[in-house]
Chains A and B, each alone.
Chain A
Amino acid sequence: MGVPHRTAVSPPGLFSALKLISRILAAVVGGYLLSAGLITLAAMALGFTMAQSEAVVLVSMLGFLLYLAVLLWSFAERRLWRVWAVTAGGAAATVGLALWLAPLLAG
């Protein structure tokens, strides 16, 4: 990556710029959808132990801390493909599962 340490002398090339944009997308968008998917599943699970509205509020509050952790990890993980696999892959799995389960639970 084009790390602008104080010793860096050249601006980042096109390829590393694209890799950076890709990482930001995976972290910000993928990480958000992963967090939203996880908390939706958690809200449905916790709905069995407390009022459903309470479960929604609880997981939504924790969702911001979860998203924070995912964001930091996405910039710390060196292998870009793993960032994409976890955020985008995890988002698709959790959101998909939530969308499939919700009508069954509500019905």
Chain B
Amino acid sequence: MGESFRQSMTWLHSWAGVVIGALLFAIFWMGTLSVFDREIDRWMIPDTRLSTVAAPPSLDAVAAVAVGLVRPEHRAWLATLPTDREPVVKLFFQDSEDHFESRFLDPATMALLPEAGSWAASDFIFPFHYNLNLEWMHIGYWLVGILGMAMLVMLTSGVIIHHRIFTDFFTFRPGGKLPRSSLDLHNLTAVVGLPFHFVITLSGLIIFFSIHFPGVVPIVYQDKQADFVKEAYGVVQRDAAGVPGDLASLDAMRMRASELWSGGQPYFVRIWHPGDANSYVEMRRSFPDTVTMNLDAVYFDGPTGAILHTHTAKPVMTVQRFLSGLHFIQFEHWTLRWLYFVLGLSGCVMIAAGFIYWLESRRKRHAAQGLAGVRIVEGLAVGAVTGIVTATLAFFVANRLLPTGATVLGYERYALEIWIFYLVWLASFVHAWIRPGHAWREQGWTIAGLAALAVILNGVTTGDHLVRTLTEASWAVAGMDLALLAGASVAAFAAWRLRPRAAVSLSFKQPAE
């Protein structure tokens, strides 16, 4: 630690940053992409590029399809209803270990769509953001939680070590020496985005409070932990009877729920113990026009349709759901959605610029003293920044190249896409350590090439090229293609600025989709 409080915070900031910056960038990058998860889903699962339906589909018609797919090991099935961003009915079948299988329905025809063949954004990019796809023992949630706490530590220590926060708001000297301009950029993105970065990190932790502080409920509630779930989330349970039973009309139940919610509509419906005399129906209210993700729920008796239980969140829980809603942005607001995306990218730039400042302020000294630090950290930074962008684009390109039903060595199509992501990411680190001094530029060109290729492949394999998607106002697919082209341009420009003879004006690689 240093002599003074500010010195100890400076030490903490630079060393915590360099140790965890790589994973933090991955989480910020995947979170930024998750802002447009549904749009990426449409791009990666072309069968779901449907036009929006005017009226919500009949739940009884959905049930007629679902019942045919339920197997004995399923203890529940549930359906999420179509929205503007997700024009399909998503059916999920939940087994006794809470594993979910999913299928998509076209809400206009009730036809089952072909299997998705991709985890796309909703099942790969988004979970990567909050658990790195490490489900075992919640280890991924814990890692992300530790990184979230470290991010809060760095934001606070970053503010403490600052001499002149207000001035930094207006300071960027891109023409200066690289340590100077990278520190300016780090400060600029950090100071401008500070409220966003702090709130997004804290709310991300608060969403998973029960995972991060797992002892509180068991200690306080002792052997009555189910009471907490009922009080806090309105979750009630009933055992199966073991005797077959009918299911009353779901559409009638939806009307009852809508009356209770003064016109509100369910966004999902779940049938527990389907086909059993003790089956019951859970409906949860949608929140398209509020930040708060309400916990309004109604439970119905399956065979009779009688109301069993209703729930509304209490005040503190409503605050928790407001903070969750700030993070999840499930409300419909395109301007804010783009703002989140831009602020997410600015967080990526902040982390990358922090890396570059660390490197450039030590490069000469390390070279003079024969230390390997800069070389090791530079490889880490390249793999973490341009490497994960390259891997994401390889994921998109693989999605458009792998044929339907492809399997290799027993791995299904969706798993092959994920393997390609991880192998390319790993290769980017190897490349960065083998080619110091060239890796930023070469991965920049790779990003530009892969992003452009992804746009071309989308046009060729689906026929939804930009001319068509723009004229037919198919915004999800058009937006993805345009973002890819914008990312390709930025990456190509950065790589061109990094061309060997212009080493002095080393430019900054902006991560972009």
For A11, list chain B residues within 8 Å (CB): 371
Residue of B nearest to A67 (CB): B149
Interface residues on B, range: 35 or more
Of B11, B152, B316, B365, which is within 8 A of A58 by CB? Answer: B316
Nearest chain B CB to A103 CB, angstrom units? 6
B323 adjacent to A61 (CB under 8 Å): yes
A54:B314 contact, CB within 8 angstroms: yes
Answer whether residue A56 sits at the interface, using C-beta atoms and an 8 A cutoff: yes
Q: For residue A24, give the distance in angstroms from its CB to the closest CB of chain B.
A: 10
B11 contacts A56, C-beta separation under 8 Å: no
- In angstroms, Cα B218 to Cα A103, docked, is 11
Chain A's closest residue to B145 (CB) is A64
Q: Which B residues touch A64, using CB under 8 A?
A: 149, 152, 202, 205-206, 209, 212
- Nearest CB on B from A36, distance (A): 6
B502 contacts the other chain (Cβ, under 8 Å)?
no
Query: Is B317 on the interface with A (CB-CB < 8 A)?
Result: yes
Do A68 and B152 contact each other (CB < 8 Å), given the known contacts A1-B1, A39-B213, A75-B1? yes
Say whether A22 faces chain B, with CB atoms less than 8 Å apart. no
From known contacts A53-B231, A56-B232, A98-B219, infer whether A61 and B314 are also in contact, taking CB-CB under 8 Å: no
Q: Contact check, A40 vs B219: say whether CB atoms are below 8 A apart.
A: yes
B232-A61 in contact (CB<8A)? no
Q: Does A14 contact B (CB under 8 A)?
A: no
Residue of A nearest to B220 (CB): A43
Chain B's closest residue to A23 (CB) is B1
Contact with B along A54-98 (1 / 0, CB 8 A): 111111110111011001100110100000000000000000001
Annotate B295-333 by CB proximity to A: 1 below 8 A, 0 otherwise: 000000000000000000011110110010000000000
Task: Note all chain B residues with C-beta closer than 8 A to A1.
Answer: 1, 11
What residues of B have a CB within 8 angstroms of the CB of A40 in the complex?
A: 215-216, 219-220
B216 with A43: CB separation less than 8 A:
yes
List residues of chain A with CB within 8 A of the CB of B315. Answer: 54
Least distance between A32 CB and chain B CB atoms (Å): 9
Interface stretch of the complex, out of B27-35, B120-128, B221-229 = B221-229
Asked if B220 and A102 make an inter-chain contact with CB atoms under 8 angstroms apart, the answer reads: yes
* Best-surrounded residue of A28, A54, A63 (most CB of chain B within 10 A): A54
Contact with B along A1-34 (1 / 0, CB 8 A): 1011110010100000000000100001000000
Closest to B218 in A: A102
> Which residues of B371-399 have CB atoms within 8 Å of chain A's CB atoms?
371
Interface centre among B152, B219, B319 (most CB of A within 10 A): B219
Across the interface, do B9 and A102 meet the contact criterion of CB distance under 8 Å?
no
CB contacts (< 8 Å) of B320 on chain A: these are: 57, 61
Partner of A3, one of B1, B205, B222: B1
A93-B484 Cα distance, complex, nearest whole Å: 55
Chain A residues numbered 37-55 whose CB sits less than 8 Å from any CB in chain B = 39-40, 43-44, 47, 50-55
Residues of A within 8 A of B153 (CB): 68, 71-72
B5–A52 CB distance below 8 A:
no
Q: From B229, which residue of chain A is reached at the shortest CB distance?
A: A53
User: Which residues of the partner chain B approach A53 to less than 8 Å between Cβ atoms?
Assistant: 227-228, 231-232, 314, 317
CA distance A11 to B366 in the complex (A): 11
Tally of A-B residue pairs with Cβ under 8 A? 119
Chain B residues within 8 Å of A103, by CB: 222
Interface residues on A, range: 35 or more
Using known A-B contacts A52-B231, A56-B216, A61-B209, determine if residue A76 contacts B316 with beta carbons closer than 8 Å.
no
A10 to chain B, nearest CB (A): 9
Chain B residues within an 8 Å CB radius of A102: 219-220, 222
Given A53-B314, A54-B314, A76-B9, CB of A59 within 8 Å of CB of B216: yes
- B2 contacts A by Cβ under 8 Å: yes
Minimum distance in angstroms from A40 CB to a CB of chain B = 5
A106 neighbours in B (Cβ, 8 Å): 220-224
- Contact present for A3 and B221 (CB under 8 Å): no
A103 to B222, CA, bound (A): 7
Known: A61-B319, A67-B149. Contact between A56 and B1, CB under 8 A?
no
Are B11 and A76 in touch, CB under 8 angstroms?
Answer: no
Which single member of B1, B9, B156, B317 contacts A57 (CB below 8 Å)? B317
Q: Which residues of B contact A98 (CB under 8 A)?
A: 219
Do A36 and B231 have beta carbons less than 8 Å apart? no
B319 touches A78 (CB 8 A): no
Q: Are B219 and A76 in contact (CB under 8 A)?
A: no
Chain B, range 278-303, C-beta contacts under 8 Å to A: none
Q: Which residue of B lies closest to A11 (CB)?
A: B371
A43 to B215, CA, bound (A): 12
Partner of B11, one of A4, A9, A43: A4
A-B contact pairs, 9 of them (CB 8 A): A3-B1, A4-B11, A5-B7, A51-B231, A55-B316, A72-B157, A78-B1, A78-B8, A106-B221
Interface positions of B (Cβ within 8 A of A):
1-2, 5, 7-9, 11-12, 14-15, 146, 149, 152-153, 156-157, 202, 205-206, 209-210, 212-213, 215-217, 219-224, 227-228, 231-232, 314-317, 319-320, 323, 361, 365, 369, 371
Residues of A within 8 A of B (CB): 1, 3-6, 9, 11, 23, 28, 36, 39-40, 43-44, 47, 50-61, 63-65, 67-68, 71-72, 75-76, 78, 98-99, 102-103, 106-107
Give me 7 other A-B pairs in contact (C-beta within 8 A), A53-B228, A64-B206 excluded: A47-B220, A54-B314, A61-B319, A64-B212, A72-B153, A76-B9, A107-B222
